Amino acid sequence: MSQENVDLVMGFQPDPALDLVQQFRDDDSWTAFRAILSPAFAPDFESANALLGIEKAYVGMEGFRTLWLDWLAPWATQRVEIKEGIDLGDRVLVLAEVIATFPGSTKGVKSATAGVWTVSEGKVTRVEFYPDHAEALKAVGLE
């Protein structure tokens, strides 16, 4: 079942050309994106964001959008390049690199990020985002 979990999670990771700022801020883009994502998520799934230095939990698809809007607030653009998906049984660790720009700038800022996705009965029940690979590896006991 764990390879199925990896396939599920990796299947909805964003294309590196997708601007996440546009995707989450624009209501029409979000509505279309939500329709694609919703079947893979439990209705009451939780998302937690340790990216801002504090962990705050959000619930459901609208909570997931709010998490992303909070994270994307200072950026003009943000793209993510997935580096690896690691099978952890009922969890999948996704290592990524983010490339973002501030308003008025054309120079991208790069940083490593990671997500730990928990899957139960074929649905995502929780995702936790981390500001770097080391913190995520530590959180899942792989440091």
Query: pLDDT digit string (tens) for 11-26?
Result: 999 999 999 999 999 9
Q: Residue ranges of the domains in the chain?
A: 2-139
Label residue 131 by pLDDT band (50, 70, 90): confident
pLDDT band of 49, cuts 50, 70, 90:
confident
Q: Quickly list H helices, 52-129.
A: 60-72
Radius of gyration over every alpha carbon of the chain, rounded to an integer in angstroms:
14
Determine the topology of domain 2-139 in CATH: Nuclear Transport Factor 2; Chain: A, (3.10.450)
Residue 71 backbone dihedrals phi, psi, to 5 degrees? -65, -40
Q: Which helix (H) or strand (E) holds 3?
A: helix 2-11
